[in-house]
Structure 1
Amino acid sequence: MAGNWEDLGPRLASGAGMAALGIAMVWLGGPWFAALAALVSGLMVWELVRMTAPAQRKTALQLGILAGAAVLSARALPGLVALPLLMVPVVAGAVQLRQNRVLFGVFAAAILAAGFGLSLFRDTYGMVWLIWLVLVVIATDVAGYFAGRFIGGPKFWPRVSPKKTWSGTLGGWFAAMLIGLVFLSFTNAGPDLPWISMALSLASQMGDIAESALKRRMGVKDSSSLIPGHGGLFDRFDGLLGAALFMLLVAQLVYVPEVRF
């Protein structure tokens, strides 16, 4: 039984540290949050290359730096003009990598779009919705972790992610709905927020599953060993990546009211 919980201490400690840093940067916004988004994006691309082309370690560092610079530089450009700049690391990877170019391109494009989109979303709509996003992802992860450990039961998608259970999946949805109800009480988001929070939770879980599928295909356990108890940044932020892409899509389709303190 103890083996089921041996990673809980490091997981909670490193998670708390990342949460504190993330909340501080979200609060400050502007160049501070943009710098954090660029740093995380660059490190995730570095991890991605190390997984998909493990022999090209020098290329991994180069593409990671290029990705972070692209996300940060794109913030200085207006609207859609930034998109070609964001695709520079993707094209560079397609040229330099000797294997798994398509896998790299798909995941790298998602990372860059999410990193740039989140920093832009923070400045456009205020920090409240970004905090909502992060809390939904955290609640999904934490509730899924404990529901899966305590309740167990049938696996959600055993061929791709053997540890995930239906109890953990549903627990994550329920926790996300509660977060939506809390934010509904003090924002003007409208009555759809609880079910949108549940949809966001599902998107977060799909991001997690997508990264699990990538790791299984590449034959690795973790994207890296940067974070105690979590593996790499990609392991920690795969759910946030899926949720961010979903939120950015929703923001293009429905009205998102600005809420600022």
Structure 2
Amino acid sequence: MAIPFGNLGMRVVSALVLAPLAVLAIWAGNLWFLAIMLAACVLLAREWAEMSVPGRPTPIFWAVALSLVAVTAIADTGAMSPALVTLVLAAAAAGLFARRIGQEGLDAAYGVLYLGWPAILLIWLRDGQSMVGLSWTILVFVVAWSSDVAAFIVGSLLKGPKLWPRYSPNKTWSGFVGGMVAGAAAGGLIAWVLPLDVPHPFWGLVLGLAAALATMAGDLWESAIKRRFGVKDAGGLIPGHGGLLDRVDGLMFAAVVMAAARLIFILMDATA
């Protein structure tokens, strides 16, 4: 039972470079968080285009990138409903454009929805410079990172039965359980030390467990997408991880779950 330290070492080095940038942007909020979100949208649009249309990615890149930049910028103004409506319209427009130039319209449209939905929700969660928004955003990132790292380490050590061998032959049930435990623990810790607007810190464990499950699901979903497009990695931007999408696939799903959870708590508080 040995961890592949070569790959792990590359992952650690990449994390040491990228994590502080993400943490600083999350902490600063406002324009800094918007800037890193916009940069991520452009990079993810490039990876999506190169995966889905490897022979001619540039037109699809521009269609997806402009759509993502537009909806993220609208969301940053606080206009969430218009941002969501724009997301749907932009996805339809990207799909029609792709068909017009002889590409697969559904792939372009789905790329906008797949990447744009979490971007809008992360902007909503961060909520400018709100301390509660900061806590929720930290919760998303810490749980997603903790569950991802724990799943990799535990799965490498214990191995065992495969989780979904058809689409992701390297992921195991032992890694899945390790990721879930780590995510729940991380959620409980964050809820204990940071001001989340939840009735009791115990909810941090529940939120961590739910977000960890979403992280695992997001990772598996991206594996299925890569299998569909016939690629091993979404890109080569991050040593040890592949592309940016390979790094944030679980985070994207976790953001959706956390945003839904926070909305539920807001509605509960409003009706109390």
User: So what's the TM-score if we normalise by structure 2?
Assistant: 0.87
Structure 1 counterpart of 2:43: 43
Distance 2:77 2:206 in 1: 35
Structure 2 counterpart of 1:63: 63
User: So what's the TM-score if we normalise by structure 1?
Assistant: 0.90
Structure 1 counterpart of 2:164: 157
Q: CA deviation at 1:64?
A: 4.5
Please tell me whether the aligned partners of residues 7 and 240 of structure 2 are also in contact (alpha carbons under 8 angstroms).
Answer: yes
Distance 1:107 1:135 in 2: 25
Structure 2 counterpart of 1:226: 237
Q: CA offsets, 1:58-101, max 9 Å, x none?
A: 21331243034213431236231222333354223202324443
Q: CA RMSD for the aligned pairs?
A: 2.3
Q: How has the CA–CA distance of structure 1 residues 95 and 159 changed in structure 2, closer, same or farther, with 3 Å as cutoff?
A: same
Structure 1 counterpart of 2:138: 131
1:110 lines up with 2:114 in the alignment: yes
Structure 1 counterpart of 2:94: 93
- What is the DSSP-based 3-state SS (H/G/I as helix, E as strand, rest coil) of the residue aligned with 1:192? helix
Q: How has the CA–CA distance of structure 1 residues 152 and 3 changed in structure 2, closer, same or farther, with 3 Å as cutoff?
A: closer
Q: Which runs of 5+ in 1 are unaligned?
A: none
Structure 1 counterpart of 2:255: 244
Q: How has the CA–CA distance of structure 1 residues 18 and 60 changed in structure 2, closer, same or farther, with 3 Å as cutoff?
A: farther
Q: CA deviation at 1:212?
A: 0.4
Q: CA deviation at 1:41?
A: 1.8
Q: CA deviation at 1:104?
A: 3.5
Distance 1:66 1:169 in 2: 36
Q: How has the CA–CA distance of structure 1 residues 256 and 232 changed in structure 2, closer, same or farther, with 3 Å as cutoff?
A: farther
Distance 1:160 1:215 in 2: 9
Distance 1:147 1:64 in 2: 36
Q: How has the CA–CA distance of structure 1 residues 100 and 155 changed in structure 2, closer, same or farther, with 3 Å as cutoff?
A: farther
Please tell me whether the aligned partners of residues 95 and 107 of structure 2 are also in contact (alpha carbons under 8 angstroms).
Answer: no
Task: Give, as a single letter, the amino acid of the residue that structure 2 aligns with 1:174.
Answer: V
Structure 1 counterpart of 2:4: 4
Identity of aligned residues (%): 33
Q: CA deviation at 1:117?
A: 1.6
Please tell me whether the aligned partners of residues 38 and 67 of structure 1 are also in contact (alpha carbons under 8 angstroms).
Answer: no
